[in-house]
Amino acid sequence: MNKCRSVLPENEELRYAWDEYDAARNAQALVILTEWPQFSQLDMLRLRQSMRYPIIIDGRNLYNPSKMSASGFYYHSIGRPCIEPHSERRELVDSTDMIRNARYDGSLTA
C-alpha cells in the first residue's frame, strides 16, 4: 500500500482503506475480484452493518449462496442464480433497480 501511495496519492477521488470492512463502509455494492484469504473469511454481520446496501457481486464464488441469503445479502455470484435475502432480512429496495440506476460519482476506493 505504501508503494501504491507513492504513485497514486490519496485525494478527494481516491481513498485508501485500513481493512476490508473500511473499504466496504457505506458501499452501495461490494464487488469481490480476488481469492485472498481475508476476503473468504469475512464476518458477514459486521460487513452487512457497514454497507449502505447489502449487495455483493462475487466474481470468485467465495461464498455459499444460502448463507449469504441468511446473512441478509442480495448475492450475485458468477455462473450461479442471483440470491435475495431471507424475507425477514429484506430491505425495501430492489438490488437490480439499484444497480441499474447507480451512477458513478467519481470516487474510487482502493
CA dihedral 44, 48, 53, 56 (to 10 degrees): -10
Q: Tell me, what's the pLDDT at 86?
A: 78
Cα dihedral: 85, 90, 92, 98 (round 10): -20
- Counting the structural domains of the chain, the total is 1
- Residue 106: the pLDDT is 47
Instruction: Print the domain residue range for 51.
Output: 26-103
- Whether 69 maps to a domain, the answer reads yes
pLDDT of residue 4: 87
Asked if residue 108 belongs to a domain, the reply is no
Is 19 within a domain? no
Structural domain contains residue 82: yes
Would you say residue 58 lies in a domain?
A: yes
pTM above the 0.85 mark? no
Task: Per residue of the chain (110 residues), give pLDDT as tens.
Answer: 788 889 998 888 888 888 999 999 999 999 999 998 988 899 999 999 999 999 999 999 999 999 999 999 999 998 888 888 876 555 434 444 555 555 545 444 44
Helix locations, the chain, DSSP H:
2-7, 20-24, 37-40, 44-50, 65-70, 95-101
Please indicate, yes or no, if residue 14 is contained in any of the structural domains. Answer: no
